[in-house]
């Protein structure tokens, strides 16, 4: 059903790009409201495609491509291979009948965001602080208090830096992937 277009890595994240071609048999777009304090409205488009292997249902999350039954579509998805159960999102759609395409770059960033160094770095810093408190000649109660305060200060100072660095790394990964030779050749061939 899916044809592999490219398998590569970008800044230590392995990914696979796959293509799906088919004829639209049904297309339905719905808006989903956020819950609680999150009032963001997002859209989902469910498309049923008739492929050589049979019909398959595709859900496009937060982007829609104009299509009607009978239109031929080509869709590209990216999968993060660094996790146990690879998951991914569709990020590109091309309608052959209208000759229109749509690129959704944030789907690439969302897929790659699954591998963040934030927690690993913070865990290492926490262990270093607790080790220092343990090996120094501090009383047990003072060592625990010192560890909690030092970890809190480290978290307050480093979390914005680490989160922004993750955001920047993912943006660079997405740009790097969009320059992948196999991907650009596939898009040009559509």
pLDDT of residue 84: 67
Give the pLDDT band (50/70/90) at residue 22: very high
Band the pLDDT of 96: cuts 50, 70, 90. Answer: very high
CATH of domain 3-113: 2.40.50
- Does the pLDDT value for residue 114 go beyond 60? no
Domain ranges, ordered by start, for the chain: 3-113
Whether 58 shows a pLDDT value over 80: the answer reads yes
* Residue 139: half-sphere exposure toward Cβ, Cα within 13 Å: 2
Average pLDDT over residues 126-151: 73
State if pTM tops 0.85: no
Q: Which segment of 44-53, 67-76, 156-165 scores lowest on mean pLDDT? A: 156-165
* Stronger pLDDT, 10 or 34, i.e. the higher one: 10
Residue 35 clears pLDDT 70, i.e. is over it:
no
Whether the predicted pLDDT of 176 surpasses 60: yes
């Amino acid at each position: 059903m899916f044809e592999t277009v490219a398998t590569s890595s970008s800044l230590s994240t392995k990914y696979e790009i796959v293509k799906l071609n088919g004829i639209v048999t049904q297309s339905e777009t719905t808006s989903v409201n956020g819950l609680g304090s999150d009032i963001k409205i997002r859209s989902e488009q469910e498309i049923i495609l008739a492929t050589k292997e049979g019909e398959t249902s595709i859900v496009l999350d937060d982007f829609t491509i104009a299509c009607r039954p009978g239109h031929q579509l080509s869709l590209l998805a990216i999968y993060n291979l660094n996790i146990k159960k690879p998951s991914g999102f569709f990020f590109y759609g091309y309608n052959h009948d209208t000759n229109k395409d749509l690129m959704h770059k944030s789907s690439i960033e969302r897929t790659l965001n699954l591998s963040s160094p934030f927690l690993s770095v913070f865990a290492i810093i926490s262990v270093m602080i607790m080790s220092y408190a343990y090996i120094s000649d501090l009383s047990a109660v003072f060592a625990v208090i010192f560890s909690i305060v030092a970890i809190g200060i480290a978290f307050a100072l480093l979390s914005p830096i680490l989160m922004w660095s993750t955001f920047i790394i993912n943006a660079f990964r997405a740009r790097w992937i969009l320059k992948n030779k196999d991907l650009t050749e596939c898009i040009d061939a559509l």
